Structure 1
Amino acid sequence: MNLEFIIYSSIVNIFVVLLLSPFFDGFTRKVRALIQSRVGPPPFQSYYDIVKLMGKEDLKSTINPLFRLSPYLSVVSIGMASLLIPITGLIPPLNFWGDIFLFIYIITVVGIAIIITASASENPFAYIGASRKMMLHLSVEPILAIALITGAINAGSFKIGEIVTWYYSNGPNVSMLLATVCVFLSLQALIGKIPFDISEAEQEIAEGVLIELSGPKYACVKWANMSRQVLFCLVFTQIFVPWTHLENSLLNTGIALIKVTALVFVSTLIEALNPRLRIDQALKYNLTLALFSLTSIFLALLGV
C-alpha cells in the first residue's frame, strides 16, 4: 500500500462518511415524508440546517469544559473511524495502523462523547437521555464487537482489511452468516433510529441528550448522528457484505454508495413504520441478540 493510495482513499472515506452524511439524512427525511403522504423538505435541507446552526449563538448553559469540547470530539471520532472502513477497495486507508479493537474503541468514544455532553449540561432531561443512551450503548455495541471478532477468528487476523479479503475470497460460512444477520438486526439500534431513538425521544424527554445544545455544538452532534448512520451502514455493507469488488476504485466507491443508499432506505422504512420501544424492551431485544450472537464465535472456533 503506497502513500498515494492512503491519501486518496482517506479523502474518499472522509468525503463519503462526513460530507455526504447530510445528503443521506435529507434522503431519509424525504422518504419518510413520502411514506407519511407529506411533501417533506428538499434533499439538501440537512446541509442548510448545519450551516445555519454553525452561525447561531453558542449559548453556554454550564462552564464545564467537557460540555464545550465533547460535541467536536464526536465528529472527529467519526472521521477517524471512517479511515478503518474499506470503501475504494478491500483494504481500508489505515489498515496498517488499526484493527477491530481500535475501531470498536473509536466508535465507543463517539457514544461516550455525546453521553458526556448531556451529563455535563446539568439538565434533568439530558440526564435521563444520557442514562438511556449509556444503557443502549452497553447493550448493542457488544453485538458488533462479537461479529467483528468472529470475522477475525475466521481470517486469522484482527486487521479489518484481512478480514474483508478473507471473506471476499472464501465466501460466507455458517459463523459469518450468523454474525452478518446479528449485525443487520442490531443496525437500527447502532444508528439510533426509531424504534431505538429512546435517548432523544422528543415527545417524552424533549430530545434528551440534545436539549441544552445550541449553535455549533448542536450542529456538531447532529452532524455526528448523521455520519454515524452512514458509518454503520458502511460497516455492514463493506465488511459483512463485501462482494461486487472491481479493480477500479471509483467504481468500488460507487457500488459502496449504492449499497449504503439501499440500506438507508430499508432503515428509513423501519423508522417510518414502527413505534418507539420502551427502554426495557430495547434492552431485552439487544441483550437477547448479543447472547445469540455469541454462537457465531463458538462456530468460528470450530471452523464452521
Structure 2
Amino acid sequence: MNAQDAAPIIVPLMVPFIDGVARKVRAVIQKRVGPSIVQSWYDLLSFLRIECNSPVDSLTFRLAPYIAFASAIGMLLFLPFGEKAPFGFEGDVIAFIYVFTMFSAAVVMGALSVPSSYTSAGAGREVTMSIVFKPLFAVVIGIFAMKTGALTIEGMASALKPSISVLGAYLLLIYLTYVEAGFVPYDIAEAETELLGGPLAEYSGRLFAIMLWAFQIKRFAMIWLLASMLVLPFVSGSTVLLFQCGAFALLFLGMVVYEAMSARYRIDQAVRNGTMALTLGIFFLLVGWMGW
C-alpha cells in the first residue's frame, strides 16, 4: 500500500497526536506544563467508551457527528499525498467544496436539533461564518482553476505560475485556512469559555468523541491543502510527500503560536474581516480574468 492509499487510514490516527503537540506548544508559550502529547488520544478513547447521554430523542442529533466525521474523511480523499490523491478525479475540487460545506451543515443540524440556548447560539455563529467564508473559499479555488484550466487539486497546484491574482489568492488561502481550522480568534462558534462549546455543548460520550475527532481531521485537511498548494508548484517526484510534511509542520506550528498569543474575536469582528477578505477575493478574481 503506497502513501496515497494509506493516508485516509493513517491521518485519522495521527491527528489526535498532532492536536496533543498543539496543546503542548500553547502550554509552553503560556508558561504552563501542559498535558502530554498523547493526552488528546487518551481523551478520545475515554469518551468513545461512554454512551452518549442524549438530551433529545432526535435522529438528526445522533447522525450529525457521523456525517461530520464522514465529511472530514471525504476531504482527505481528494487531497494529494505526494503527487496523487487517493480518490482524485477530474473535478474533485468541486467534490472537496461539497464535503467541506457538508461538514458545517452537519454541525449546524446537530446543534439545532437540541432546545439549548448554547447550541443555538453556536449554530447561528457557524452559519454566519459559513455565509462569509465558504464563498471566499469558492472564489480562491475559482482563481486557481481559472489560471490553470484544471479542476483537480493536484492539477491546479502543479500548474500554478506566479501572477498578481495567484499571489493574492495564496494570501487569502492562508487566511482562510487559519479561519476554517478553527484557531483562536476564529473559534467563535465553539467559544468554550463563552458558549461551553457551542454546537458541541449537548454532546457527550461517544458522539462527542466522534465530533471532536472530525474537527481535528478537518483542521488537518485544511492545512494539508494549503501545504500542497505551496509545495506542488515547485517540487515533483519522490520528495513531494517529504516537502508536504515539512510545509505542514511549519504552517501548523506557526498557526498554533499565533493562536496562543491571540484573543477571541466577536462575531461582528470576524464577519467584518471576512467580508473584507471576500471583497479582496472578488477583486483578485477580476484581476485574474483580465490576465494578470
Shift of the alpha carbon at 1:23?
1.4
8 A contact 1:130–1:209 mirrored in 2: yes
* Residue number in structure 1 paired with 2:61: 67
The aligned amino acid for 1:64 is S
* Residue number in structure 1 paired with 2:268: 280
Structure 1 unaligned segments of length 5 or more: list them: none
8 A contact 1:14–1:82 mirrored in 2: no
Report the Cα distance in structure 2 between the residues aligned to 1:22 and 1:263, rounded to whole angstroms: 17
* Residue number in structure 1 paired with 2:255: 267
Following TM superposition, the consecutive aligned residue runs of length 4 or more in structure 1 with deviations greater than 4 angstroms are none
What TM-score comes out, normalization by structure 1 length?
0.91
User: SS in structure 2 opposite 1:93?
Assistant: coil
8 A contact 1:53–1:218 mirrored in 2: yes
* Residue number in structure 2 paired with 1:200: 190
8 A contact 2:154–2:232 mirrored in 1: no
* Residue number in structure 1 paired with 2:52: 58
Shift of the alpha carbon at 1:258?
1.8
Percent of aligned pairs sharing the same letter: 27
Structure 2 unaligned segments of length 5 or more: list them: none
Matched, 1:78 2:72: yes
8 A contact 1:55–1:216 mirrored in 2: yes
User: Of the candidates 10, 33, 36, which is equivalent to residue 15 of structure 1?
Assistant: 10
What TM-score comes out, normalization by structure 2 length?
0.95
| Post-superposition CA distance 1:108-154 (Å, at most 9, x none) | 00111111111112211100010001101111122221111111101
8 A contact 1:198–1:278 mirrored in 2: yes
* Residue number in structure 2 paired with 1:31: 25
The aligned amino acid for 1:200 is E
Report the Cα distance in structure 2 between the residues aligned to 1:246 and 1:9, rounded to whole angstroms: 15
* Residue number in structure 1 paired with 2:235: 245
The aligned amino acid for 2:126 is K
| Post-superposition CA distance 1:214-243 (Å, at most 9, x none) | 111100111111111111101111124434
Kindly report the root-mean-square deviation, in angstroms, between the aligned alpha carbons of the 2 structures. 1.6
Report the Cα distance in structure 2 between the residues aligned to 1:34 and 1:204, rounded to whole angstroms: 24
8 A contact 1:24–1:264 mirrored in 2: no
| Post-superposition CA distance 1:28-47 (Å, at most 9, x none) | 10000000101111111111
* 1:68-217 equivalence runs, <5 A: 68-89=62-83, 91-96=84-89, 98-167=91-160, 171-217=161-207
User: SS in structure 2 opposite 1:81?
Assistant: helix
